[in-house]
Amino acid sequence: MVFWRCFVAFGFITFFTLGCGDGEKSSTENTKQVVQEINVAQLLTKAQASQNAENLFLQGNHLLDTQRFQDAIQAYDKAIALKPESPATWINRGNALISLQQYEAALASYNKAIALKPDKDEAWYNRGNALTSLAQYEAALASYDKAIAIKPDKHEAWINRGIVLTKMQKYQAALASYNQAIVIQPNKHQIYYNKACTYALQKNVALAIENLQKAIQLAPGKYKTLAKTDPDFDKIRNDKRFKAIIPSN
């Protein structure tokens, strides 16, 4: 997950100096002074609320990093109560919810972030993840495409787009998506493993093994274990070439 930090910038408050006459101030002058004092108080109150919201946002991020997801949500909710227009808070709130497998609630949180800032690629990307978990693949694909349109080098979106296309059995389009991710991140082991899965589903043993070996080379010890039980390899599991690199025992 990508965490975004918000920095609150405060404008300067301009004070108007009134003349220093000996006489009493007029009612108009008194009214101006009262209005000015109220405006200053309001600005200071707003600034304090923004700072408190930022502190709660940072607290939520720490809780999210340490996998205290429910506590993180509570911190984000408090931040939103003070500053509801922060898209970053809504996004990270969604990330905490998705970690708790509360996908519908996460989706609502991402939608709120998008309503506030439609060009936020992280919101569209994470929205795609929530929709993928809900098996709403067409909508997930549209979200990943939107994230990529905003940030074309977002390799995570290209990878997850490939996963969705594979689930939709659009294998050639999935492979094209993975290949684009490789152009951006050529040493990302997850891409080669996903390519291997896609080829295995098509019973293309040679290319499945080629990509699986590349994934194993980049992340030793991880994919030999994973491939043993991954159902994506069931169609080629009994092939002697597959058994040579992924023994059954």
What is the SS3 assignment for the chain? CCCCCCCCCCCCCCCCCCCCCCCCCCHHHHHHHHHHHHHHHHHHHHHHHHHHHHHHHHHHHHHHHCCCHHHHHHHHHHHHHHCCCCHHHHHHHHHHHHHCCCHHHHHHHHHHHHHHCCCCHHHHHHHHHHHHHCCCHHHHHHHHHHHHHHCCCCHHHHHHHHHHHHHCCCHHHHHHHHHHHHHHCCCCHHHHHHHHHHHHHCCCHHHHHHHHHHHHHHCCCCHHHHHHHCHHHCCCCCCHHHHHHCCCC
Global confidence as pTM: 0.79
168-215 pLDDT tens trace: 999 999 999 999 999 999 999 999 999 999 999 999 999 999 999 999
Q: What confidence score (pLDDT) does residue 155 get? A: 96
Per domain, the residue ranges of the chain are: 187-249
pLDDT of residue 79 exceeding 60: yes
Q: What is the pLDDT of residue 3?
A: 19
pLDDT value at residue 117: 97
pLDDT for 176 equals: 98
Confidence of residue 7 (pLDDT cuts 50, 70, 90): very low
Q: pLDDT tens-digit profile of 120-148? A: 999 999 999 999 999 999 999 999 999 99
pLDDT of amino acid 31: 56
pLDDT at 41 (0 to 100): 56
Pairwise pLDDT comparison (52 vs 87), residue with the higher score:
87
Q: Which pLDDT score, from 0 to 100, does residue 43 have?
A: 54
Q: What does the pLDDT read at residue 15? A: 26
Q: Scan for tokens 């919101």, then name that residue.
A: 123
Contact 49, 83 (CB under 8 A): yes
15-67 pLDDT tens trace = 222 333 344 555 555 555 655 656 555 555 555 756 788 889 999 999 999 99
Residue 189 or 1, more confident: 189
pLDDT at 26: 55
pLDDT confidence bin for 14, thresholds 50/70/90: very low
